Copies of this chain bind each other. A is one copy, B any other.
């Protein structure tokens, strides 16, 4: 075991993966469809990757964004690579709705309301199918 939770465990329900990275569904009840694209190996920053790897990772982040847009039709997408707590490169890909708990704040900001958003039935299966249908 390392001391990195993203080296020791998937970090969510794995919907897609290859030898380079994985896409996981995050368990955030306020944010159904919140996905993370996680580099498999332990690297801190985008600029610790060679340019071809940065590009490969961002292509997957953008494909994940497109999947969320296609399946969920959010009002906005939020992308972020922070890693202050877990410095293992991972991208948050977050569907945002104008009536979600924090909008227009970031999901890490002040909570403004309780959500009434219904979780689409079969959401996980839809996201997984869309991710796996991509070339």
Instruction: Give A residues with C-beta under 8 Å from B.
Output: 44-47, 51, 54-55, 58-59, 61-62, 65-66, 69, 76-85, 87, 96, 103-106, 108-109
Query: For residue A45, which residues in chain B have a CB less than 8 angstroms away from its CB?
Result: 65, 69, 76-77
A–B Cβ pairs within 8 angstroms, 12 of them: A45-B69, A46-B62, A46-B65, A47-B69, A54-B59, A58-B58, A76-B82, A76-B87, A80-B81, A105-B108, A106-B108, A108-B109
Q: Assuming the A-B contacts A45-B77, A58-B54, are A84 and B106 also in contact, with contact meaning beta carbons closer than 8 angstroms in the complex?
A: yes
**Count of chain copies:** 2
Query: For residue A69, which residues in chain B have a CB less than 8 angstroms away from its CB?
Result: 45, 47
- In whole angstroms, what is the CA distance A10 to B59 when docked? 28
Query: For residue A51, which residues in chain B have a CB less than 8 angstroms away from its CB?
Result: 59, 62
